[in-house]
């Protein structure tokens, strides 16, 4: 009986090792970071627009070129000014191409499948009833759908299915204008998703304001915060590790923290601190983002460089304009213009501060396990034959 039980346990263990692999992975995180820790940068450099990929060590490569974008859209030029970017949980990148000198479409890209148009200008204008489409900011909601700030003649927040490209109007300009504190709305980028269906949208109308709305569309949009002290929200917003909003205020040359819920506005990085890091008065329209370790990244437009602020708020140069231009190629016409936003891809949730990818049992170990299984049962059979009756 003991021998049979032992062999049963051995069989169960070895069969487990031989299967498709033990997974120690966890659900996708709320904070964004891809498997290599790369930062993606929307570069609106004239004639050389595209998307750059920067590793944690500062190595720069071109992920998407202007030629690839124009080939996908069928429009001869690209406009990534203020359009922003967002990753889904599967590692697919989504970004907008402004209609001012681009296609007015929303595109999707992955390293395995390349680039395609998710929703064209015609798809967007068909539901907004506007003549133009200006996708000025993108973010995923907790429901897995893509939300887009469309800053066309009638501003609205769009909801886009990332699989089918189906577009619908989620919140209209009229719904936001109807709030007692708001005179008019202008959605010039600045959108981020929150937990439990929350969605935060920045307006540079009058007054400048941060709206909070829900992805279900069951309640009217409300004002989370407005100026003063918020002066000019002509930039991007992101979420801090604790869930607060971090807001780039290009009017005050400051970066604010806004609590959620509550809407309490406080200083995150002062104008003096930013100027000390950058070396001149900053232009905060290039994009902001956190990595999964709590480090903050700023794409600064005056220097067209990217700066890193650690958790102790120590600021340093991460990647310079010259390094990005060198990666794009040699020549007088190569330039970098950081006006389009930055974003990290999603990665699995850190466990104890360490990223733990799924662990699969290698084929070699499965083969050894198989040999062990065969040997075990062969030995057991021989032993059974030799045992006296």
* Assigned domain for 364 exists: no
Specify the pLDDT at position 32: 46
pLDDT of residue 365: 39
Tokens of 98: 């402004």
Beta-bridge mates of residue 237: 247
- Residue 82: the pLDDT is 84
pLDDT at residue 48, rounded to an integer:
86
> Closest by alpha carbon to 356, among 3, 15, 26?
26
Residue 89: predicted pLDDT: 85
> Low-confidence residues of the chain, pLDDT below 50?
1, 5-6, 9-10, 12-33, 349-387, 389
What CATH number has the domain bearing residue 320?
2.120.10.30
Tally of domains in the chain = 1
| Helix segments in the chain, DSSP class H | 2-18, 66-73, 121-128, 173-177, 271-278, 321-328, 363-386
Which pLDDT score is estimated for 90? Answer: 85
The whole domain housing 152 covers 32-358
Query: What residues does 191 pair with on adjacent strands?
Result: 201
Residue 5 located in a structural domain: no
For residue 198, being part of any structural domain is answered with: yes
Which structure tokens are listed for 53? 């990929």
The answer to the question of residue 335 being in a domain is: yes
**Most distant CA atoms of the chain, gap in Å:** 97
Rounded to two decimals, the pTM is 0.80
In a domain, 190, yes or no: yes
Domain assignment present for 239 = yes
Asked if the structure places residue 368 within a domain, the reply is no
Pairing relationship of beta strands 209-214 and 198-203 according to DSSP bridges: antiparallel
> Would you say 199 and 148 are in contact if contact means Cβ atoms under 8 Å apart?
no
Handedness of CA 74, 77, 81, 86 (dihedral sign): positive
> What is the chain's alpha carbon radius of gyration, rounded to the nearest angstrom?
26
* Structural domain includes residue 50: yes
């Amino acid at each position: 009986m003991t021998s049979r039980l032992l062999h049963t346990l051995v069989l169960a263990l070895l069969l487990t090792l031989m299967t498709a692999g033990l997974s120690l992975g966890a659900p996708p995180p709320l904070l964004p970071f891809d498997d290599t820790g790369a930062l993606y940068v929307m570069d609106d450099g004239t004639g050389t627009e595209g998307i750059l990929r920067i590793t944690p060590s500062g190595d720069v490569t071109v992920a998407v070129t202007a030629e690839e974008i124009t080939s996908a859209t069928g429009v001869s030029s690209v406009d990534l000014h203020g359009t922003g970017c967002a990753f889904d949980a599967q590692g697919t990148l989504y970004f907008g191409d402004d209609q001012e000198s681009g296609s007015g479409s929303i595109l999707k890209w992955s390293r395995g499948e390349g680039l395609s148009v998710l929703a064209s200008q015609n798809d967007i204008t068909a539901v907004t009833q506007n003549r133009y489409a200006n996708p000025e900011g993108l973010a995923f909601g907790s429901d897995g759908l893509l939300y887009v700030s469309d800053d066309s003649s009638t501003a609205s927040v769009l909801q886009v299915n990332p699989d089918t490209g189906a577009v619908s109007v989620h919140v209209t300009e009229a719904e936001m204008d109807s709030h007692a504190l708001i005179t008019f709305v202008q959605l010039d980028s600045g959108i981020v998703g929150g937990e439990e269906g929350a969605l935060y949208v920045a307006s540079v109308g009058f007054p400048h304001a941060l709206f909070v709305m829900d992805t279900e569309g069951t309640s009217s949009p409300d004002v989370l915060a407005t100026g003063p002290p918020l002066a000019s929200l002509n930039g991007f917003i992101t979420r801090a590790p604790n869930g607060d909003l971090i807001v780039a205020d290009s009017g005050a040359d400051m970066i604010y923290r806004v609590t959620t819920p509550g809407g309490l506005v406080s200083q995150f990085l002062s104008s003096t601190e930013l100027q000390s890091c950058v070396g001149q008065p900053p232009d905060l329209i290039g994009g902001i983002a956190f990595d999964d370790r709590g480090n903050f990244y700023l794409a600064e437009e005056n220097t067209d460089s990217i700066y890193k602020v650690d958790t102790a708020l120590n600021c340093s140069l991460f990647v310079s304009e010259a390094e990005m231009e060198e990666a794009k190629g040699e020549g007088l016409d190569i330039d970098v213009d950081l006006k389009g936003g930055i974003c990290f891809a999603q990665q699995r949730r850190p466990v104890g501060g360490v990223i733990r990818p799924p662990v699969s049992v290698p084929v070699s170990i499965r083969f050894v396990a198989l040999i062990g299984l065969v040997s075990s049962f062969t030995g057991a059979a021989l032993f059974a034959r030799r045992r006296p009756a």
